[in-house]
A and B are shown apart, each in its own frame.
Chain A
Amino acid sequence: MSLDNEHLEYPKRRYGMDHDRYEWSILQERPSITWPSHKKLAIWINVCLEFFPLNQSGTPFPPSGGMTMPYPDLRHFSLRDYGNRVGIYRILKALDAINAKATFSINGQLTERAPYLMDILKERGDEIIAYGWNMDSIHHSGMSLDEEKALIERTIDKLSKYSNKNILGWLSPSRNESKYTPELLASAGLSYFCDWVNDDMPYLFHTDNGELWAMPLSNELDDAFIMMNNLHSEQSYLDQICDAADFLLNEAQTEGGRILALNIHPWMSGQPHRINKLEAVLHYIKTLPDVMFANGTDIVNIVSN
């Protein structure tokens, strides 16, 4: 027995990428970006507001943070719901304490489940981006085009109605995509998405329906990735973000503007024993020289000029 010959054939072995989604380019060889007022480091905080349904289908895979016990898994359901009831208010307070601007990525279904919270966010005026319908509505290639299109439209429609704003950004649940997701996002009028984690700066991503900005929302610095997936301590989370901020700020002295992107989950960092570490992170980065807070649209507007 041996493998089929296709295993020794390499049809995409060529200059650049093995697909046509974006150009191959080395970050350090690109023209540098200058932030307004010669700031060096843009701090982009994205707060994830999520709904994990109890009757999780797990298609095409169970979402990280979702139900793991036999139905009804009230333990995980309610612990995630905690984020939208309790954790988020601690986080809003922490953001306000240092006057930080943020982006809120929101599952569309949450508009129906927590309209009070939507009102609060609307009143604050922070940027809201679409984050799929719920955490169990994972976009994947087994979905029909119509089904996926409907999911995207319903999510954007609900969020724009509740925020009274155009929705410009997107994050896919579990950052998973079908092979058509970027096309559908572009035709839905979005200008950026945050699923791909291959860069520290925004770059142009090609779709059949126009270009999207791929925004560098780090997964490696995500609070749940560090503390739930990697099981690192709260203190280590603080150390890691501070080390990242120092590194990027230093790199920005010679390489042009950089972005520190912090993805935050209220059900994780909004816990009483963790919030002080998030506060310490915010305090640390706020006191660094030449930093500015920016949301996703601010960054896209700057880099597209």
Chain B
Amino acid sequence: MLEDLELYDYWPYHHRPKITWPNNARLAFWVAPNIEFYELDPPLNPSRKAWPQPYPATQGYSIRDYGNRVGHVRQMRILDKYGVRGSISLSTALCEHHPEIIQMCLEREWEFFSHGIYNTRYTYGMSETQEREMIDDAVNTIEKYTGRKPSGYLAPALSHSELTMDLFAEAGGIYTCDLFHDDQPTPVKVRSGKQFISIPYSLEMNDTIAYVVNKIEPRRYGQIIKENFDRLYQEGADSGTVMCIPTHNYQVSCPHRLKAFEEALDYITGHSDVWVTTGREIAEYFIANYYEISADDINSKQGTL
């Protein structure tokens, strides 16, 4: 085990080169619905159990299935209402299990990025060959069902190896959602030397972290989203920021939670100078316009020791 994977260099959050998003926007806003498939009876990974209860884990499995059966259409309608195209963190086996959902997202020109095959298959313990096979499978499945390879990656159930970024970059990816070290895109070092970046995805705004881990009340979650936006919007006047709301249809789309989420979206999209976009569009724009200047700035700020 390593003390630090050294995926990125220190980069102070002041005096950075100014980012301006398209149409002079100061904040790039994206919503990342995680559309996941959890298996009822997955093979047991030696490092992490999929379910706390013995088979069949009725409760955990069925509430996640609720997201696909009930929640997806609810969230989609709200995103439609506010002109947000989702950037889907996709368990790619969902292409086979629930193609109807894939079709609805394709019709809306949503983006698909890879969240592994199943959210019950972890990267832990995989050899390099195995992880590459899993990543290639996910990339090819998305291409087969949507016509385009994914640009982004969020490791299945946030399970990583030391090589995850390297392997995804080699599979043609340009961005990762796995790092929570910044409020702006940053270069990520991969062994191939390709231009690969991190896009802020925000664990703090993630509905499952908010509701299940932090046990936040629904109306307060709506309030926190607005406050997160206010500060990033304010700072975006100095240099463009990124705000992401990662969602899960089995959390945010429950009947007692949608009102707060909708109010937050109404608030955010009611502001001028907000670029309502997708992960890929942010990544492509940053790489085309700010990657090199950012890399140079980072190099100049490594101190003198």
Contacts and interface: CB of A to CB of B under 8 A. Distances in A.
Interface of A: 1-4, 6-8, 10, 12-19, 24-29, 60-61, 140-142, 172, 174-179, 195-200, 218-221, 229-233, 236, 239-241, 243-248, 251, 260
A198 B256 contact: no
A236 B98 CA distance: 35
A244 B256 contact: yes
A179 B52 CA distance: 16
B93 interface: yes
B55 A141 contact: yes
Nearest to A7: B43
A200 B65 CA distance: 11
Contacts of A176: 53, 58-59
A175 B58 contact: yes
A231 to B, nearest CB: 6
Contacts of A14: 96-97
Nearest to A17: B97
B66 to A, nearest CB: 5
B21 interface: no
A225 B100 CA distance: 32
A44 to B, nearest CB: 14
Contacts of A8: 130, 133-134, 137
B70 interface: yes
Instruction: Among A7, A17, A172, find the residue whose CB has the most chain B CB atoms closer than 10 A.
Output: A7
B21 to A, nearest CB: 33
Given A26-B72, A232-B217, A10 B255 contact: no
Nearest to A214: B62
A3 B69 contact: no
Nearest to B217: A236
B126 interface: yes
Nearest to B43: A6
B59 A2 contact: no
B130 A241 contact: no
B218 A18 contact: no
Given A7-B121, A246-B259, A142 B63 contact: no
Nearest to B55: A141
A200 B130 contact: no
Contacts of B260: 243
Contact of A13 (B69, B93, B125): B93
B259 A247 contact: yes
A243 B256 contact: yes
A204 to B, nearest CB: 13
A225 to B, nearest CB: 11
A230 B211 CA distance: 8
B118 interface: yes
Interface string B98-142: 111100000000000000011001000111011001100100000
